[in-house]
Amino acid sequence: MARILLVDDDDESLWMLQLVFERSGHRVLLADSGEPALALAGRHLPDLTITDWNMPGLDGLGLCEWLKFYPSLAQIPVVMTSGEWPPKDKSALWNAFFSKPVDLEALESAVDSLLARRLCCSKNRVNVPAPAPSRWAPMPSKYWV
């Protein structure tokens, strides 16, 4: 299944989301703020990130900005959660928003939809060019005399 990065400074919220997504068969990475989440994302390349907006240190908004800054992380869908409404001018940084307390069924449905789009559609994958041909590779037979 997919690898999901969960980011929240509230231990109970993290625990609840971890149970929900592990029960669905996903692998879960946990972080309590934006800094460790960014490090985990860089090391493990999650398929989706769910983050709280209000956290000490690097908050969810800052985390989204950093994730979009790195090409290898920019295509990862982000679900934002918060007890407050985030600024509308920044809404392009995430794919879905849920106000707290989160409706778990709606969240699971949104996550499934975002993961299906990410994992199945080639247009959302990061394009990695084929490696350059080696200069030591054998020449095709048409070049032989």
Tell me if 38 is assigned to some domain. Answer: yes
Asked whether residue 140 is assigned to any structural domain, the reply reads no
With respect to residue 115, please indicate whether it lies within any of the assigned structural domains: yes
Structural domain including 23 reads 3-127
- Is residue 139 in some structural domain? no
For residue 119, pLDDT over 80 is answered with: no
143: in domain: no
Total count of domains within the chain: 1
Does some domain include residue 50? yes
Domain assignment present for 70: yes
Among 41, 48, 67, residue whose Cα is nearest residue 118: 48
Q: 1: closest CA among 99, 116, 92, 139?
A: 116
**Comparing C-alpha atoms, which of 38, 29, 39, 19 is closest to residue 104?**
19
Mean pLDDT of the chain: 85
| pTM strictly above 0.85 | no
For residue 26, the domain's CATH number is: 3.40.50.2300
Q: Residue 127 — pLDDT band, cuts 50, 70, 90?
A: very low
Q: Is residue 135 part of a domain?
A: no
Best CA proximity match to 45, nearest among 66, 25, 78, 73:
73
Q: What is the pLDDT of residue 140?
A: 52
Q: How confident is the model over 55-69, as pLDDT tens digits? A: 999 999 999 999 999
